[in-house]
Amino acid sequence: MLLPLTPVRFKSHAARIYGRKTGVVCGNQRFSYKEFDQRCDRLSGALLRLGMKGGDRVAYLSFNCHRLLEAYFAVPQVSAILLPLNIRLSPEELAWILNDATPRLLFFDPEFTPIVESLKTCIRSMEHLICLREPRPAWAHPSTYEELLEISTPRLMDYTGIDENSVAELFYTSGTTAHPKGVMLTHRNLYLHAFYAARALHLQDEDTVLYIVPLFHVNSWGSPHTYTLSGGRHVILPKFDPQAALRLIEEECVTRLQMVPSMAMALMHCADFHKYDLSSVREIMIGGAPASTALIRQLDEKFPGAAALGGYGLTETSPIATIAYPKDHLKGASDEINLRRRATAGTAIAGAEVRVVDAAGNDVNPDGHAVGEVVVRSDTVMAGYWNQPEETDRAFEGGWFHTGDLATIDEEAYTLIVDRIKDMVLSGGENVATAEIERVIYEHPAVLECAVIAVPDEKWGEAPKALIALRSGHSTTEEEILNHCRRHLAGFKVPKSVEFRESLPKGGTGKILKRLLRESYWAGHARRVH
């Protein structure tokens, strides 16, 4: 018997097996898996009443909430394509994406009413603008989201007619091209990613995940599907706030956290951190940007009952490709060696093949020093880029997906990301990896956040510059930071200058935006990085 591989099967399975269990917590609302399943089916019915057909795009401009979580099952259930939008983008960037993806329907939070009002005249494809909750603007659809669900009857949706190779989700990610690229993830991609990730993470129905990473960021690292498949509990944080996150960890006995480094730092340095019982946390995965040994060590100290480790993936890989679990036969190594391994991207999860290759496509020496590009082959790798066949062909050159990330790999297949190709500093003919410098700077006790970027240099062409935000109550100097770097780095890798800032700009996922940091330094200069 052949059934289509589609993630919509997970919510039906959860309703059958865990129907009476609280599956979703969002603010003061709590839904059992049976109720969640019914709400998803009501939304599917509402979409059909609104005329949505297979292949139509359904966009969401929303904070994390149970309504967006429901869309991850209800939209692909009717063979439509879910398009979650990055709420941090400018109206101009959103307009470009919407005109490229041409959705027929947009759901939006009322906080974004001014943006949607400015967009509605320039987006040719949109037929329905539906406010997720009150207050509803007069020009929007006469029914809010909840009102649409009320008039729609839940009914068993037949998934057997879904084409598993059709697109289920569309995420736009920034790249080196002039415009964002729409990543097409199929039903098959998402179904198999959920199984691979659930196995790799050892998920069980006793697990509770807190949504710290935004849902618009590649479905919050696959959590809607993996935790529903496992019968775990979804606890939703509308937007990242360290104290609110700590409160929810204690109140909901959260067992799993997934964060980018800047979020982890903000959480640990919250003034009220010590007031909360965080003993329920068993595992913390750091992704979205390279982890450092300093960060993993701090997480070990702050969450003594939890295992902290790195992971790696991209929107194009659905996203998880590697996780830095210590292998059983290596646990006899020293604590310092195990710490360094947990701070890497890790090894490939089942179902993914990961290589590090040189410019000719040959595997680099697995010595933990030779640098090459990470390439991936997996059932979870995207179908391609929406409306960009040339970019798709370029990304899949040689039959492997080229990530644009530079890394080393050791004899135990642990991959260490050293930089993005576009972020490398070419200083006096030497390639300098900014992530390597950042790892060293993060070891300094006064540093809260840092980013190393290339800036123009009359002598070297370009040189590394460190931009640093300090921890509250700490101080240091440029010379102290440079001396710290000199003790741990080759001379040509030491930043030529240091600048202290109150904070560093971040995107919707909490990642530091190096592109914005570079702009002021490269104004009027020719630059290879965009």
347-401 pLDDT tens trace: 999 999 999 999 999 999 999 999 999 999 999 999 999 999 999 999 999 999 9
Would you state the pLDDT for residue 528?
A: 45
> Is 90 exceeded by the pLDDT of residue 527?
no
Check if the beta carbon of residue 289 is closer than 8 Å to that of residue 260. Answer: yes
pLDDT (average), residues 176-197: 90
Tokens of 442: 């993060």
Per-residue model confidence as pLDDT tens digits over 61-83: 999 999 999 999 999 999 999 99
> Is 70 exceeded by the pLDDT of residue 140?
yes
If you average pLDDT over each of 49-53, 91-95, 176-180, which comes out highest? 49-53
Strand 307-313, strand 283-286: pairing: parallel
Per-residue model confidence as pLDDT tens digits over 333-355: 999 999 999 999 999 999 999 99
pLDDT (average), residues 244-273: 96
Per-residue model confidence as pLDDT tens digits over 313-331: 999 999 999 999 999 999 8
Domains and CATH numbers, the chain: 8-188 (3.40.50.12780), 240-420 (3.40.50.12780), 424-522 (3.30.300.30)
SS3 label, residue 488? helix
**Cα 314 from chain centroid (whole Å):** 7
Average pLDDT value for the chain: 94
Check if the beta carbon of residue 380 is closer than 8 Å to that of residue 189. Answer: yes
Per-residue model confidence as pLDDT tens digits over 81-98: 999 999 988 898 899 999
Would you state the pLDDT for residue 124?
A: 84
pLDDT (average), residues 487-496: 91
Asked, as a colleague might, if the bond just before 154 is cis with ω within 30 of 0, I would say no
Indicate the burial class of 470 (C-beta count within 10 angstroms; 0-12, 13-18, 19 or more): middle
User: Confidence band (pLDDT; 50, 70, 90) for 178?
Assistant: low
SS3 label, residue 332? coil
Give the angle subtended at the CA of 388 by the CAs of 52 and 220, to the nearest 5°: 60
pLDDT (average), residues 428-446: 89
Would you state the pLDDT for residue 526?
A: 56
User: Confidence band (pLDDT; 50, 70, 90) for 176?
Assistant: very low
> Is 80 exceeded by the pLDDT of residue 206?
yes
